[in-house]
Structure 1
Amino acid sequence: MSWLIALSDFFLYVMLAFLAGDVVLRSVKSEKKPLVEVPKKLLLLALALIPLLLAPPVIQLILLLSDSFGPAQAVVDVATEFRAGQSYVFGVLMAVAWLIVVWRNGSWVFRAFWLVLSVLNAAYASHAASIADWQGFAGHAIHFLALVLWAGVLIHIAWFLRDGRNWRAFLKWFTPFSIAMMILLIGSGIWLMLFFVAPEDYASSWILPYGQLLLLKHLSIVPLLLAAFINAFLSRSDAPNRAWLKVESSLLLLVLLITAFMSKLAPPHNINETFRVEGSAPFIEWLAGPQYLPVHAVWTPNIDAFLMLSIGLIFLGLQWLSYRKQLPEWLSFIFGLGFVVSVYTGLMFSFLF
């Protein structure tokens, strides 16, 4: 059921990003943004889906406790004693209140209020908050808020744009906005990582499922940053390059997908103990051979690793070239994925664990 919970988290992140984009663009004057038309029913649908998308981890907890305490008592215990249950109750109440605001065409201020509370509610239920108390809560809240604000505006501009008017006026505020969100995202991400993985154990953690996804998340940020750089500094025409906006938003959704699956795995506080309990991540033995305790990553450069890393750089160059030659946007996305897979493989070949 863990994959279903991870997918529900991913779609929850997408819904919140979509709603966050609505909040940001409503706060901007009409002469400083292009014409974006999002049907009201889509906003209402996104809010209606939130209780359903919050439910899978709560259902899992209830099923686990039902055998011991009975279904009714399990529901009460989960709702009152577990972070996931408390977060679900608050999340449903906030989604209903937010839906009423949207239904009544409330101002962006009220929408922003419920957005911030929803982000804080998600941070309350996070691994970081349960492990590092208020520091983990604050780090997750900042990280998640920056992610949904950036992704939300991109989703609206890339997929719901109707008229490119005021494009230069839009870029004047959105470029520094996206840079600020990127800085917050990377800074808070490093802060959160330090709660789970010591810097000296970063490479060693790759033997574990959580460490693998952490590495893939970090690698997926590279083609995302390249796409963001192209959109912010190279596409300076008076009309938006919707193809590359779609590339950037798709790569950002990839980061959200990896984050969702990471959130359902045990962080490697003690790599050897986690390896003893969970075993190695998929494909590790195929890429790096059989693994034994104690786990300690040792850099061992070799020709196979060098070739795969070089192929990764070639894919990154092709992503750049696809912009210069105006190739189809799906090719640019594929080149970004090629970079992630090639560099990931090259790094796996570069270490003995």
Structure 2
Amino acid sequence: MDILVIISQALLYVCFSILAGSFLLLLIPSNYRPDVKIPKYLLLISTILLPIFAFAPVLDITLFITPRLGLFESLTIVLTTYTVGNAWCFTLICSVLLIFVIALTRSNEQRMSAFIGIVLTFGLILTVAWSSHAGAMIPLKGIINHFIHLTAISIWVGVVLVVGWCAINHNNWLPFLSWFSKVAIGCLTATAISGVLLTNVLVDGYIDSWTVSYGQGLLVKHLFLIPLIFYALFNGLIVKYLISRDDTFNPIPWIRLEGFILFTIFTITAIFTQQSPPHGSNVTNDAVSPLFRLFHDGIIDSGSTLDFVVNINIVFFFFLFLLLLGLIILSIYKKASIIIPFLLSCFMVVSIYVMLMISVVIR
């Protein structure tokens, strides 16, 4: 069941991104973006799947209490008394409204329906934030921060995915970059600030949380921000220079690569959000992450703290990181398939992760 919930949450974020990115692009005048062909069925499928994917946590809780109360009564209790069930009911209502908006839209009403659609999409994101860990722990602050975090990343990912896979040309790419670069910077800033605030809500100490699976997920997610920022800068600065010198240069594969990194971050987020956030006395030796155990087999309890040391192994992995970064730049220069820089980016993240893990000591 845990695997089902993880997959459903990752795909839920993708659906949010497709909807947010599509509606935003439809609101932008055509001379400020490449020509995009967004199939109506893509929007309908994304909207229909939203309540299905969002139902996975509800089903998980329902099946947990079913042996005591029976399936129907358990489902009724979860939907009417649990926050995750209440939030899902609103998710279903907003999804139905959005389906009608998309289905009834005519070609000459796209901008108006896009405005309504993006408002409903933000409403759907709010229902997910309402049922989040942060929303349960500190209702108002947690919900607001989670909403900002998920909205910002959905807009950024959405535009990247829709342009990367639905653009039929790269016309008006420089005008597109002129506004999207600012949007991406704003989304990154909002994501970073809300992420820090969420981390402060969910964990007692960021570095100490690395001992458990939730903290490991946070760390890996944050490490993937390194190649993400690199490709975002490449698409925003280097591509602009290349297009200004060569009108035939096709930037779409490179924005697809940025989308791959963003989807990887989504998947990691879906995995670690299903773990319980660590809080002081909750951290026991049995709760230590198997990943952390690969590097440290000492006894860990609620009183344990993590510190850092420097040794020759750390220097080796740091130079490995620089080598992989150089190979990524070389693969871009040689116009290699985007799979190669993507795999090199994953190896680069692994090298930084190992470097951090071997530098940690338990106090």
Structure 2 length-normalised TM: 0.92
- How far residue 156 of structure 1 moved from its aligned partner, in angstroms, is 0.7
Deviations 1:203-234 (A, max 9, x none): 22111101111110110000000000000011
The 5 A counterparts of 1:286-325 are 286-293=294-301, 294-325=303-334
- How far residue 295 of structure 1 moved from its aligned partner, in angstroms, is 1.8
Q: 1:143 to 1:240 in 2, by over 3 A?
A: farther
Letter in 2 for 1:126: S
Gaps of at least 5 residues in structure 2 are none
**RMSD between aligned residues:** 1.5
- Answering whether residue 239 of structure 2 is matched by residue 226 of structure 1, we say no
Q: 1:327 to 1:284 in 2, by over 3 A?
A: same
- How far residue 343 of structure 1 moved from its aligned partner, in angstroms, is 0.6
Corresponding residue for 1:68?
Answer: 68
2: CA distance between counterparts of 1:127 and 1:218? Answer: 19
Corresponding residue for 1:251?
Answer: 261
Corresponding residue for 1:163?
Answer: 169
**Corresponding pairs, count:** 349
Corresponding residue for 2:343?
Answer: 334
Deviations 1:73-104 (A, max 9, x none): 21221011111111211111111110110011
Corresponding residue for 1:235?
Answer: 239
1: CA distance between counterparts of 2:286 and 2:5? Answer: 19
Asked whether the equivalents of residues 285 and 291 of structure 1 are also in contact (C-alpha less than 8 Å), the reply is: no
Q: State the SS of the aligned residue for 1:13.
A: helix
2:154 to 143, 148, 166: 148
Q: State the SS of the aligned residue for 1:352.
A: strand
Asked whether the equivalents of residues 78 and 85 of structure 2 are also in contact (C-alpha less than 8 Å), the reply is: yes
Structure 1 consecutive aligned stretches of length 4 or more whose deviation exceeds 3 Å: none
- How far residue 162 of structure 1 moved from its aligned partner, in angstroms, is 0.3
Gaps of at least 5 residues in structure 1 are none
Asked whether the equivalents of residues 37 and 160 of structure 1 are also in contact (C-alpha less than 8 Å), the reply is: yes
Corresponding residue for 1:185?
Answer: 191
Asked whether the equivalents of residues 284 and 300 of structure 2 are also in contact (C-alpha less than 8 Å), the reply is: no
Structure 1 length-normalised TM: 0.95
Asked whether the equivalents of residues 167 and 240 of structure 1 are also in contact (C-alpha less than 8 Å), the reply is: no
Letter in 1 for 2:294: W
Q: State the SS of the aligned residue for 1:163.
A: coil
Corresponding residue for 1:37?
Answer: 37
1: CA distance between counterparts of 2:320 and 2:282? Answer: 33
Q: Percent identity?
A: 28
- Answering whether residue 11 of structure 2 is matched by residue 2 of structure 1, we say no
- How far residue 307 of structure 1 moved from its aligned partner, in angstroms, is 1.2
Deviations 1:105-161 (A, max 9, x none): 162111012111011111101111111110111100000000000000000111111
- How far residue 314 of structure 1 moved from its aligned partner, in angstroms, is 2.1
Corresponding residue for 2:83?
Answer: 83
Asked whether the equivalents of residues 9 and 53 of structure 2 are also in contact (C-alpha less than 8 Å), the reply is: yes
- How far residue 67 of structure 1 moved from its aligned partner, in angstroms, is 2.0
1: CA distance between counterparts of 2:266 and 2:354? Answer: 21
- How far residue 177 of structure 1 moved from its aligned partner, in angstroms, is 1.0
